[in-house]
Amino acid sequence: MGMPSFTSLIDSLPSSVPFVGPEALERRSGAAIAARVGANENVFGPAPSVIAAMQDHAQGAWMYGDPENHDLKAALAAHLGVGAENICVGEGIDGLFGYALRMFVEQGVTVATSLGAYPTFNFHVAGFGGRLVTTPYVDDHENPTALVSLVKGEKAKVIYFANPDNPMGTVWPAADVQRLIDEMPEDTMLMLDEAYTEFADANTRPPLDVSRRNVLRFRTFSKAYGLAGARVGYVIGHAEIIKAFDKIRNHFGVARLSQVAALAALKDQAWLHHVVNKVKASRESICKIARANGLKPITSASNFVAVDCGRDGAYARSVVEKLLHHGIFVRMPGVVSARLHRMDFQRVYEIDAPQWTLMTWYELDGDDPEQIIDALKAASGSAKFTYVSVIVSVPATVHARVVAPALRSRSTAASTALRTSLDSNAVKYPPRSPNVSDATFLGSSRAVGRPAVAAMKPISASRRACCMGDGADHHPRRALGVEVPDVGGAG
């Protein structure tokens, strides 16, 4: 029997969701989950005053919420020291990301982010036909300098940056975030995700400046305020940009009881401080458990802790699975981190909107650029992937002597084949030390590709382990279990 046809964009997208929830895991396994650690929820819950307010107003649930969110916007404006016209309230940060990207992204528009950063943002980019470009994490942090270079090199219209970061929990000082803001081109919109900002020190938040037209700052009641189930978030920005949300947002998206809860939560700052202190103590408890078992916790400024299991991706996944067997739900982050003297990589299947892409990290076996070309040619022939991205790890001397000239050249046979096989927007990451280059992003093949890429050997899976909280471990990301070697430089 026939049916109406989908749009070409919908036909090109995978049937996937950004996260597999604990409820879905319970249904699959038939076993209850006792600890929902991987959901990044605030297990201390909302303030008693919030629960009382919701109970008092429960009988009014038959009414729609105020479509203008007037009272909540006024309270937030007073709390933040901005105008109500500088705030839009929506059904959580995820919903607001969808609206914001709809305002700035259409088919083929370039969006920059970090490789392995918050996947729901990427999900929305794909949903509007955007083109996602990425740069690796460095020492478990997003790399603001590399992101600025990526934005300028790729002429990205939108950039995503989270502070504190999800899924690593790391944070940048306010001065570094302000530098990122200052270096943004005027025609690039910076979407600054501050979902976990209440857990971080005040010196990590640059002052709110609503005079800037190219910065949107996203915050939520889901985390520190304990209202993840109520779905209330807000975005702060220039009045003209904020007003544009009214053109597309769901005006009745925030339920009446959710508005009541958020107002009561904002008033009860004493409970907020209580929760923040409890979270700090809990983070340290998780770190102690990790260290006691020979693992390395990553310093976190959020309400979760990422833990390095010290071995390969298969081992980390086994930790996640065994914890789940005991009723403890955690996640694995999908972060690729480029380090000074060693680079941790993983082979993952990633979304490169609007089609699937295969992104693979390789160690250059020798110094012949023809290997790169042959590998990309060998990757064609399957209908499963439309784009094939290849990143190679090479010593800086080889990068300078072989790879960079091949990318720059317009006369050699290597360059001709490279231009045929790769996007014209190839980006190189410069060396971070005298001996080791960061990953060199050679680009994406326009030909359809298959997972097997010849002539180069995969060097590793990520050593990053279970993330005691949110992360990017969902289909289609799959890590390989290979030990990470040292790549050049001092050991």
**Pairing mode, if any, of strands 380-385 and 440-445?**
unpaired
Q: Where do we find the tokens 């800037």?
A: 212
**What digits encode the pLDDT tens for the residues 361-417?**
344 444 444 554 454 444 433 333 333 344 444 444 444 444 444 444 433 333 333
Structural tokens at position 480 = 């390989």
**What digits encode the pLDDT tens for the residues 276-299?**
999 999 999 999 999 999 999 999
- Based on its alpha-carbon atoms, the radius of gyration of the chain, rounded to whole angstroms, reads 23
Which CATH code of 3.50.50.60, 3.30.390.10, 3.40.640.10, 3.30.70.20 fits the domain covering 48-268?
3.40.640.10
How confident is the model at residue 469, as a pLDDT?
A: 32
Any idea where the domains of the chain sit in the sequence? 48-268, 347-459
How confident is the model at residue 105, as a pLDDT?
A: 97
What is the pTM assigned to this prediction? Answer: 0.73
Q: What H or E segment, with its residue span, contains residue 189?
A: strand 189-193
The residue-averaged pLDDT of 4-27 equals: 85
Left if phi > 0, otherwise alpha if psi is -120 to 50, otherwise beta: which for 304?
A: beta
Mean pLDDT score of the chain: 75
**What digits encode the pLDDT tens for the residues 239-252?**
999 999 999 999 99
Reply yes or no: is the peptide bond before residue 476 cis, omega within 30 of 0.
yes
Of the candidates 418, 462, 461, 420, the one whose C-alpha atom is nearest the C-alpha of residue 440 is: 418
Q: What backbone phi and psi angles, to 5 degrees, belong to 51?
A: -60, -40
The residue-averaged pLDDT of 246-267 equals: 97
How confident is the model at residue 275, as a pLDDT?
A: 97
Looking at residue 6, what DSSP letter applies? P
Confidence of residue 137 (pLDDT cuts 50, 70, 90): confident
SS3 162: strand
Give the lowest-confidence range in 74-78, 87-91, 186-190, 349-353: 349-353
Residues 6+ away with beta carbon under 8 Å from 138: 146, 337, 338, 339, 432, 438
In this predicted model, which residue has the larger pLDDT, 407 or 335?
A: 335
Check pLDDT > 90 for residue 313.
no
SS3 412: coil
Confidence of residue 226 (pLDDT cuts 50, 70, 90): very high
CA distances from 75 to 35, 84, 118, 260, 261 (A): 34, 8, 29, 12, 13
Cα(385)–Cα(262) distance, integer angstroms: 44
Sign of CA dihedral 431, 110, 137, 293: negative
The length of the chain in residues reads 491
Of the candidates 427, 335, 447, 443, the one whose C-alpha atom is nearest the C-alpha of residue 389 is: 443
| Helix boundaries (H) for 345-467 | 369-378, 396-398, 404-408, 413-421
Please give the distance of CA 252 from its chain centroid, rounded to a whole number: 28
SS3 98: helix
Best mean pLDDT range from 141-155, 260-274, 396-410, 440-454 = 260-274
- Percent of the chain past pLDDT 90, that is, above it, reads 54
SS3 399: helix
Cα(242)–Cα(246) distance, integer angstroms: 8
Cα(479)–Cα(277) distance, integer angstroms: 35
Strand partners, 30: none
How confident is the model at residue 335, as a pLDDT?
A: 63
Angle at alpha carbon of residue 120, lines to 115 and 91, rounded to 5°: 145
